[in-house]
A and B are shown apart, each in its own frame.
Chain A
Amino acid sequence: MTTATQKQPPASDRHRNSTIRAVLSPWREVPFLGWLLGALAAVMLEHSVGSSLALTLGLRRIPVLFGFELMLKAPQHIPGMLVYLVLVYMLPAALVAVATRGLTNALAARLLQSPALSLAVHLVLLYGCMHFWCALSDYRYLVAQLALIAVMLTLSLNVINGYMGEFSCSHPGFMALGAYAASVLTVLLFVEDDVFGPPLLPPTLGPFLFPLALVAGGLVASLGALAVAIPSFRARGDYLGVITLAFTFVVKSLFENLEIVGGPRGFMNQPNWAGLPTVFVWAVVCVAVINNFVRSTFGKALNAVRDGETAAEAMTINTRRTKTVAFLSAAFWAGVAGGLFAHVVGYINPATFGAQKLAEVLAMVYFGGLNSVIGSIAGGLGLTLFSEMLRPLEVWKWVIIPMLLVLVMTRRPTGLIAFREFDALKLLGPRGRWEGGVQDGTAGG
């Protein structure tokens, strides 16, 4: 390992504390693949010995969300919990990641020759981690589903609020449109219901046609987004903000008065088809599509519109088209997320898609970081998990989370990881001394 440190660039000399650097340096050479492998090892370890270890440590059961809620409820368990976290998560993950770094770097380099394959392998590993982690508890499973849906919502709102720089408040409305449209379709077609009567199609077809229902939900949301996109041609800033806010309330009011979908009493009986694999696949597709979208010429046009609409126009950017596409695609993904949400919870009512949902999504966008895909992922996952972890604090949770937001806003006014481009292939490549070889390899291939 010392050889590894010697190969570090001379920049490390500037740092006084070279011991820490030396200790950390092997980990700097671990590629993403290695970390995934480490995480997988950790969750599999937890799967096999987690509960007996927890019992040995005096904990009644496996700490569900990294032990946070147990620490808050029973502080006497904090040492045991920390030991558990170190023994089950940190040590195995770190050791496996470091021990296999030669192998994983070589593998990462090899895989990169076929980016699609590389992506697929990483995603399978990532899903494997989630699968084993969630297999231990239904609660984790549900939290993971909700967190992934939150990521989709955050990311799609970031397209408008971050990349296009408009303050849009219409996301709960888009979500409601998608949720209701997808729910009505699945209930009408595949479920025996009081209002809609017997299923029109055999229910066994349901899970296969479910993606189509979600897409339909997304399209309905897109259609609704026209109501916001067209005014955005002329209105900007606060005025557009008010229009989008009005849109949310119009949609909410619409469903309150639509008796066929239950009115204010809400709509239920959605079949339980949005399992973790389904939500995961949709979230991955959403991230991939939006990431490609914002990195394309269109994405740059969005930034141009944000930074100076007149200048963008002068640069031959069709601003109207840009805005329409941004609103419609953001609404589409919000609608799909809404459809998934409805099928995860199994019940929706108009009040869910109101000001509170808006505040949540906005907080996730601004917490994670504007104009950044990775920031949105961090914001959606982070705030959902955090708000679950802090649930035992009851009212204090609503003191701590806003304080955290204030803190982030004062330190980083645009969010934690703002204005960063997300280059998946760069992330997936090898690290450290293996990095150079790959560049040669890719240059050759």
Chain B
Amino acid sequence: MRMYRVLVPLLVLSLAVALGLSGCAPTEEALPIIKIGLNVELTGDIPKVGESCKRAAEMWLEDIEAAGGLEVGGKKYEVELVIEDNESKPESAAAAATKLITQDEVLAIVGPNASKVAIPAGEVCNNLECPMISPWSTNPRTTKDRPWVFRACFLDDFQGPVVARFVTEEFGFTKAAVLYDVASDYPKGLAEFFKQAWEEIHGPGSVVAFESFVTKDRDFSAQLTKIIASGAEFLFLPQYYDEVPLILKQAQELGFDKPVVGSDSWGSAELVKLAGPLCHGCFFSTHYAAAGAKGATKEFIDRYKEKYGEVPDDVAALTWDSVRIVEAAIKAVGEITGDLATDRKAVRDAMAAIKDFQGITGRMTFTEEGDPIKAAVIVRINEAGEFEFYKFVSPE
């Protein structure tokens, strides 16, 4: 029975350690900790998005900690941020969401940002009944038929008409041209929504050129020549900041001198660095404008800049609003019972009932689908290369 000579001491030792540990384990707090999950893209193809999201959320947590916790119904609760990396992969986003809900027992989840990860994560949150708010996902399917899923940004089917209305009112143009990437979900969707809205205002055929290319194309001269020949009065370019400079440059070389209007994907400091004076004077629609911001928005921008050394992008601003919506919902509940299912349901209901939430990216009220009704911002790139607030365009 030699093996027992080893096993018995091992057993005794482990029991002793166990008892010792349980003795010195921290005593349970009287109040439960409120946990907020963060399901973000820290690795994978868009790590910058995850980083901005994480930074904004951590800044929010600092505020809560400085206030000594989150006050709900007269009691101060400790708040914990549980951050999970979803690697920008759908299956990992689903796994991260499952883990946050079942393992970390979070009360609500903020993120993911990109639609390709927000859709599967939303499915998990909806099935497991945990409120989730995506700061940045614009695909309608993220929240569609999912009562537990919300978002903080407007959708492409809102942004398209916004641009169409803005151009009509501002310039009085009637003939539009569109150039977009057919293989990328965001530009394609937006281009189609814009076309639809423009033709509703100006009648069929008023989009005189609707030209496409494929991701990573670098020569746009064929499409641009067609656009110039079509007699369009301006070009709508719902492309990412890395492609816009190339297109602007080639358009200029081909002699296109009409205005170019963009979408929220333009909103990166990189755009101005790459395009230089070419983009000065252009307009684009977005969630918020950093230059010329006032009030709470300015306060947020200044703090973020001081803490991380860069101007917050729209993901950071939208994350800030998302965590504050969660905060507002928890406060509105008025009571944390400690029973997760009850609390989650209460938070979801409170979130759905939020009216006129004053966020830094605009005033929001949720529709039945969990999408916010909010105004878009039109930004003008000024001669100093700054994104300058131009005007609000409210939903009808």
Please give the residue numbers on chain A whose beta carbons come within 8 Å of chain B beta carbons, in ascending order: 1-2, 19, 22-23, 26, 56-58, 61, 64, 79-80, 83, 86-87, 91, 95, 98, 137-139, 142-143, 146, 253, 256-257, 263-266, 268, 272, 341, 344-349, 351-352, 356, 388, 391-392, 394-395, 397-398
Contacts and interface: CB of A to CB of B under 8 A. Distances in A.
Given A26-B3, A268-B141, A352-B90, A345 B43 contact: no
A352 B93 CA distance: 12
Given A263-B183, A264-B183, A392-B85, 17 more contacts: A22-B2, A57-B18, A58-B22, A58-B26, A79-B21, A86-B10, A91-B10, A91-B14, A143-B95, A146-B91, A264-B185, A264-B188, A265-B139, A265-B189, A346-B94, A349-B116, A352-B116
Contact of A263 (B26, B43, B188): B188
Contacts of A137: 102-103
Given A58-B25, A61-B103, A264-B188, A391 B89 contact: no
B99 interface: yes
A265 B84 contact: no
B120 interface: yes
Given A58-B22, A264-B185, A394-B42, A86 B98 contact: no
Interface in B88-124: 89-92, 94-96, 98-99, 101-103, 105, 115-116, 119-120, 123
Contacts of A349: 90, 116, 185
B11 interface: yes
A22 B120 CA distance: 52
Nearest to B42: A394
Interface string B45-80: 001000000000000000000000000000000000
B17 interface: yes
Contacts of B183: 253, 256-257, 263-264
Contacts of A352: 89-91, 116
Q: Provide the main secondary structure of the chain B interface.
A: helix
A268 B119 contact: yes
A265 B90 contact: no
B89 A356 contact: yes
Interface string B155-197: 0000000000000000000000000001111001100000000
A349 B115 CA distance: 10
B18 A83 contact: yes
Interface of B: 1-3, 6-7, 10-11, 14-15, 17-18, 21-22, 24-26, 42-44, 47, 84-85, 89-92, 94-96, 98-99, 101-103, 105, 115-116, 119-120, 123, 127-128, 139, 141, 182-185, 188-189
Contacts of A395: 42-43, 47
A56 B21 CA distance: 8
Contacts of A253: 183
18 contacts: A26-B3, A56-B22, A57-B25, A58-B21, A64-B103, A80-B18, A83-B21, A139-B95, A139-B102, A256-B183, A263-B185, A264-B188, A265-B139, A266-B90, A352-B90, A391-B99, A394-B42, A397-B43
Nearest to A61: B103
A80 B3 contact: no
B61 to A, nearest CB: 16
A71 to B, nearest CB: 14
A363 B334 CA distance: 50
Contacts of A265: 115, 139, 141, 185, 188-189
Contacts of B44: 356
Nearest to A391: B85
B190 to A, nearest CB: 12
A57 B96 contact: no
A397 B44 CA distance: 12
B290 to A, nearest CB: 27
Nearest to A357: B89
A64 B123 CA distance: 22
A146 B103 CA distance: 18
A138 B14 contact: no
Given A86-B10, A263-B185, A2 B43 contact: no
A346 B123 contact: yes
A257 B182 contact: yes
A139 B141 contact: no
B116 A23 contact: no
A392 B83 CA distance: 8
Contacts of B127: 272
A138 B99 CA distance: 8
A265 B116 CA distance: 7
Q: Which of B47, B120, B182, B188 has the most CB of A within 10 A?
A: B120
A332 B75 CA distance: 59
Given A1-B2, A356-B89, A142 B98 contact: yes
Contact of B14 (A23, A86, A268, A341): A86
Given A22-B2, A79-B17, A264-B188, A347 B90 contact: yes
B3 A347 contact: no
Contacts of B128: 138
Contacts of B185: 263-266, 349
Contacts of B120: 345-347
Contacts of A394: 42-43, 85
Give the 4 A-B residue pairs with the shortest CB-CB distance, closest first: A58-B25, A264-B185, A265-B185, A347-B120
Contacts of B7: 91, 95
A146 B95 contact: yes
Q: Which of B2, B6, B96 has the most CB of A within 10 A?
A: B2
Contacts of B18: 56-57, 80, 83, 87
A83 B14 contact: yes
Contacts of B184: 264
A394 to B, nearest CB: 5
Given A2-B2, A57-B18, A264-B184, A391 B96 contact: yes
A349 B45 CA distance: 15
A130 B185 CA distance: 39
Contacts of A397: 43, 85
A87 B2 contact: no
A138 B98 contact: yes
A397 B103 CA distance: 20
A57 B102 contact: no
A375 B245 CA distance: 49
Contacts of B22: 56-58
B157 to A, nearest CB: 13
Contacts of A268: 119, 123, 141
Contact of A341 (B2, B85, B91): B91
Contacts of B25: 57-58, 80
A394 B115 CA distance: 20
A83 B98 contact: no
B2 A19 contact: yes
Contacts of B24: 58
A57 B17 CA distance: 9
